[in-house]
Amino acid sequence: MRPFLTASWRNLLMLNFAADANTLRPYLPAHTELDTWNNIHYVSLVGFLFQDTKVKGISFPGHRTFEEVNLRFYVRYKDQGLWKRGVVFIRELVPKPLITLVANTLYKENYATHRMRHQWDQPDADTLHVRYEWEVAGQTNFLKATATATPQPLQEGSEAAFITEHYWGYTRLDHQTTGEYQVTHPKWDVHPVIDYGYRCHTSRLYGPAFVPILEQAPLSALLANGSPIAVMHGRKLRS
C-alpha cells in the first residue's frame, strides 16, 4: 500500500523523563496500555527536522522542510496476540498553520503552531551541536545538545532502543475509539550526547500535570541521526 506521508526525519534530539502512571492514564487511548522500560514510564520531549515531505507522493510548496517538537509517551497494543509498541503525543508543535489545521481537523491530532527555528553546527570533525527553538508568549523555548559527530549503532534492549523503536502511533478519538497508524524506518544510529539543555513553558503548552515531570532532571538525552520514513494509512480500533 502506498504511504500516506513520506519524509526524512533528521537529528532527532530526545530528552527522556520518568513519569507517574497516574499522570499519563487520562491521555491513554482506548485498547492500549502503558509501556515501560525497566519498570519506568517515560515521557520524551523530542525535537527534529522534517525534510522532503510529501503527502501521497505530492510535495507542497513551503511545506517540505520544517521543525517539529513533540511531547510523547509510550504505549503498547495487543493485536491478534502480538504486542505492537507505539507512542501517544500530548502535543506536537510545528511552524506551519496548514499542517496544524489538517492534522487537528481531519485526524483529531493535537497540533499547535509556533514560530520555530533550528541550528546544526559541526565546529570540528568530532563534535555536533543541535538546537531547536520555539516561541511561547514571545519567549524562546529550546532543546539543545552537544554530541559526538560519529553515530553508533543501537544496543539491543537498551534504553535508547526502547525510546526509538516504537513503530506505531495511537490517537485518542473518543472514549471507545483509537486511531492507529504505522511509521516505518530503519533502525537509527545514535550520537553519544556530551551535554544538553532545555527551556520549556510546560504549563502553558502541556498543562500543570506535566510541570513536575519536565522540571526534574531528564533520565537521559539521545540524539538519533534519523532516516527516510513513511507514515502508512491508518485505521480505527473500536470495541
Q: Residue 239 has what pLDDT? A: 76
CATH number of the CATH domain containing 23: 2.40.400.10
In angstroms, the Cα distances linking 196 to 75, 131, 202 are: 26, 9, 18
What domain count does the chain have?
A: 1
Q: Domain containing 120: what range?
A: 5-237
**CA-to-CA dists, residue 15 to 77, 151, 196, 199, 223, angstroms:** 24, 17, 9, 12, 9
Q: Give residue 107's pLDDT.
A: 86
**Pairing of β 5-19 and β 220-231:** antiparallel
Going residue by residue through the chain, which has 239 residues, state the pLDDT in tens, using 9 for 90 and above: 799 999 999 999 999 999 999 999 999 999 999 999 999 999 999 999 999 999 999 999 999 999 999 999 999 999 999 999 999 999 999 999 999 998 999 889 999 999 999 999 999 999 999 999 999 999 999 999 999 999 999 999 999 999 999 999 999 999 999 999 999 999 999 999 999 999 999 999 999 999 999 999 999 999 999 999 999 999 999 97
Q: What is the pLDDT of residue 142?
A: 99
**Residue-level pLDDT at 106:** 82
C-alpha cell read off for 225? 541521526
pTM: 0.97
Give exposure, 100-112, as e/b (b: 16+ Cβ within 10 Å).
beebeeeeebbbb
